[in-house]
Amino acid sequence: MHDELICRCEEVSREEIEKAIEDGAVTANEVKRFTRAGMGLCQGRTCRRLVERILSEKTGIPLSEIQPSTYRQPVRPVRSDLIREHNKNKSEGELNDE
Amino acid sequence: MIQTELAIVGAGPAGLSAAIEARRAGADVLLIDENSRPGGQLFKQIHKFFGSRAHKAGTRGMNIGTQLLKESEELGIRTCLKGEVCGIEDGQNLWVVIDRNRSEIVKAKKIILATGATENAVAFPGWDLPGVMGAGAAQTMINVNRVLPGKKVLMLGSGNVGVIVSYQLLQAGADVVAVLEAAPRLGGYGVHTAKVARAGVPFYVSHTVKQAFGTDHVEAVEIVELDGSFNQIPGTERILEADTICLATGLTPLTELAWLAGCEFKYIPALGGHLPIHDDRMHTTKENVFVAGDITGIEEASTAMEEGRLAGINAAAELGYINEEEARIRSEEIWDSLNCLRSGYFGQKRRESKDLMLHTGNEVIQWKIH
C-alpha cells in the first residue's frame, strides 16, 4: 500500500502529522513547524485544508476555530534572484519617495 | 515601477467585469493575470449557463469570455499577462513577477482582488500518483489544451463540476467508469446529472475512494461504501479499473493576497471557509482593497461577473470617477440581480451566507472607512 501523503511538496505523511499532534501541536502553524507540511513549492495551497481537517479530527477543535497557518510572500514559487531584484526595486522606490 | 489608479488581480469573469466598469467610468486600470491568456475558467466552460436571460443564461461560458475580452480590448484596458502577484506590501504595492523572469512593483491607489479559487484535494493512499487530478484540471486539459487525461476515468464528487466534467470527458472520448458521491444523495443539477446517467455511467452514492493502485501511474481504484457518519464500512470494498481519478470535491477561495494585505476574515463554511470580510460595495476591512468573485465565497461565473461590476463601480467612485449617488443606485440594481441569481433550491443557502457576510461587513467596515 502507498503511504498516505498529505503534503506532496514536502512529502509529509498523515502519520507524521498525527504524530506531531500527539506530540503537542494544537495549531496549524505548529503542525507546519513540526513537520514542514505546507512549506514547499505550493505553500500549502493543496494540503492546507487537509492539515486543518486532521487537526480538527484529532484535537476536537471545531474547524471554524482553527486559524489558518500564516501566509507569507512570495505566494508563488519564484527564483531567488527575483527576490533580490524585488528588494532592490523596493529600496530604490523608497529613495525616490524621499 | 508601474503606477496605476486601479490594479485588478485576476482576469477571470470577476476581474474582467470590474475592469470594464472602472475603465468605462474613466479610471486608469491595470489588469494582472498569471496566465498567458485572460478569461479565467470561462474558456473551458463549453456548456450553456443557467439562470435568467438577463444573466446570459443559455450562453456558453466560452462565448461569455470572448464577449468580455472584446469589451476590454475596445476599452483599451491595460493587461499584464503572465504576471504572478507574489505579495502585497504597505497596503497597496503589489509585487509582481512577470514571465517568471522579472520583478516589478505595481503602485496602485485601489486594488481589486479577483483571484478566484483552487480545487480541494482528497487524500487517500496513492493520491499522489500521476493520474489523480482535480476535475477542473481535467476540464482544462480536454477543452482548452485538447489533451485526454486518460482513457478510464473515475469521478469523485457528483456536484455540478463532477457531472459536467464527466459528460465533457465522455464527449472527448474517455470512458467514465463511475461517479462517486460521499453523501447519500447526488449533488448536481438534474439536467447535467441525467445526461451522464443516460450515457450509462454508474453512480455510487455513499461511496468514496479508499486507495489508488499503480506503480508509476494510477492503474486501479479501490472504492468503499460509507455509513451515515461518513465512516468506511469494512467488507464493502470493490476494485475498479481506472487510469485517472478526478477530484470534484469543492473549491477553496484563493485568499493569500487578502491575508497579506491585512484584511479581516470571517469563517463561512457554506461559501468555502475563511473569507475576507466585505461590505455591499465589495470593500474589505483594509482601506483601498476590494474583492470580487470566488475569493469572496465559492459561487458561479454569473455571480462573479456581477460582484466584479460592483467592485469596479465602487472603486471608480472612490477614485472620483462616479459620484456617490450614481454608484449607490447602480450598486442597488446589481444587488437586485445578485439576489435573483441567489434564489431557488441551490441559491438560497448561498444567499443566506452572503447576507451574513454583508451584515458583518456593513457593520465592521462602515465605521472604519466613512
- pLDDT, one tens digit per residue, over B237-293 is 999 999 999 999 999 999 999 999 999 999 999 999 999 999 999 999 999 999 999
The nearest CA of chain B is from the CA of A3 a distance in Å of: 5
A41 CB within 8 Å of a chain B CB: no
A64 CB within 8 Å of a chain B CB: yes
Closest residue of chain A to B107, computed from CA coordinates = A93
pLDDT at A94: 74
Q: Residue B278 carries which DSSP code?
A: B
Residues of chain B neighbouring A76 (CB-CB closer than 8 A)? 34, 84-86, 97
Are B95 and A86 within 8 A, CB to CB? yes
Mean pLDDT of all residues in B328-335: 97
Are B121 and A49 within 8 A, CB to CB? yes
**Nearest C-alpha neighbor of B6 from the set B106, B116, B85, B117:** B106
Residues of chain B neighbouring A83 (CB-CB closer than 8 A)? 103
Quote the cell numbers at residue A30. 505548529
pLDDT at B367: 57
User: CA triplet B187, B190, B195: central angle to 5 degrees?
Assistant: 110
A39 burial via Cβ count (<10 Å: 0-12, 13-18, 19+):
middle
The nearest CA of chain A is from the CA of B69 a distance in Å of: 26
Q: Map grid coordinates 444523495 to a residue.
A: B185
Cis peptide leading into residue A74 (ω within 30°): yes
> Under DSSP, is residue B317 helix (H, G, I), strand (E, B) or coil?
helix
The nearest CA of chain A is from the CA of B123 a distance in Å of: 6
Best A46, A72, A87, A91 residue to mutate vs chain B (most B CBs within 10 Å)? A46
Are B127 and A64 within 8 A, CB to CB? no
> Under DSSP, is residue B342 helix (H, G, I), strand (E, B) or coil?
coil
**Nearest C-alpha neighbor of B5 from the set B41, B31, B43, B36:** B31
Are A82 and B97 within 8 A, CB to CB? yes
Band the pLDDT of B370: cuts 50, 70, 90: very low
Are B89 and A90 within 8 A, CB to CB? yes
Residues of chain B neighbouring A68 (CB-CB closer than 8 A)? 259, 274
Q: Map grid coordinates 455513499 to a residue.
A: B206
Closest residue of chain A to B269, computed from CA coordinates = A64
Are A68 and B274 within 8 A, CB to CB? yes
Q: Which helix (H) or strand (E) is B311 found in, with range? A: helix B301-318
Mean pLDDT of all residues in B126-137: 97
Asked if B225 and B99 count as a contact pair (C-beta separation under 8 A), the reply is no
Mean pLDDT of all residues in B317-342: 96
Q: Residue B252 carries which DSSP code?
A: E
Are A49 and B252 within 8 A, CB to CB? yes
Closest residue of chain B to A67, computed from CA coordinates = B274
How far is the C-alpha of A81 from the C-alpha of B227, rounded, in Å? Answer: 53
Compute the half-sphere exposure of residue B28: CA atoms within 13 Å on the CB side of its CA.
Answer: 7
Mean pLDDT of all residues in B151-170: 97
Are B104 and A89 within 8 A, CB to CB? yes
Are A5 and B127 within 8 A, CB to CB? yes
**Nearest C-alpha neighbor of B4 from the set B29, B22, B33, B32:** B29
Write out pLDDT tens, residues A31-68.
999 999 999 999 999 999 999 999 999 999 999 999 99
Mean pLDDT of all residues in B200-224: 97
| Statement: residue B58 has pLDDT above 90 | no
Best B86, B113, B127, B295 residue to mutate vs chain A (most A CBs within 10 Å)? B86
How far is the C-alpha of B368 from the C-alpha of B39, rounded, in Å? Answer: 34
Band the pLDDT of B344: cuts 50, 70, 90: confident
Q: Cα separations (Å) of B235 from A56, B224, B231, B238, B252? A: 28, 8, 13, 9, 33
Strands B93-98 and B83-89, by their bridges, are antiparallel
Residues of chain B neighbouring A64 (CB-CB closer than 8 A)? 267, 269
Residue B104's DSSP bridge partners are B96
Quote the cell numbers at residue B301. 461565473
Residues of chain B neighbouring A90 (CB-CB closer than 8 A)? 89, 105
Nearest CB partner across the interface for A8, out of B118, B128, B269: B128
3-state helix, strand, coil in chain A (%, to 5): 50, 5, 45
Strand runs (DSSP E) across chain B, as ranges? 2-9, 29-32, 78-80, 83-89, 93-98, 102-113, 117-119, 132-134, 152-156, 175-181, 203-205, 207-213, 220-225, 238-241, 244-247, 251-253, 265-268, 273-276, 289-291
Are B102 and A82 within 8 A, CB to CB? yes
A15 CB within 8 Å of a chain B CB: no
Asked if A66 and A50 count as a contact pair (C-beta separation under 8 A), the reply is no
How far is the C-alpha of B136 from the C-alpha of B249, rounded, in Å? Answer: 10
Band the pLDDT of B56: cuts 50, 70, 90: low
The percent of residues in chain B predicted with pLDDT above 70, rounded, is 97
Are A64 and B121 within 8 A, CB to CB? no
Q: Cα separations (Å) of B278 from A59, A69, B87, B283? A: 31, 22, 20, 5
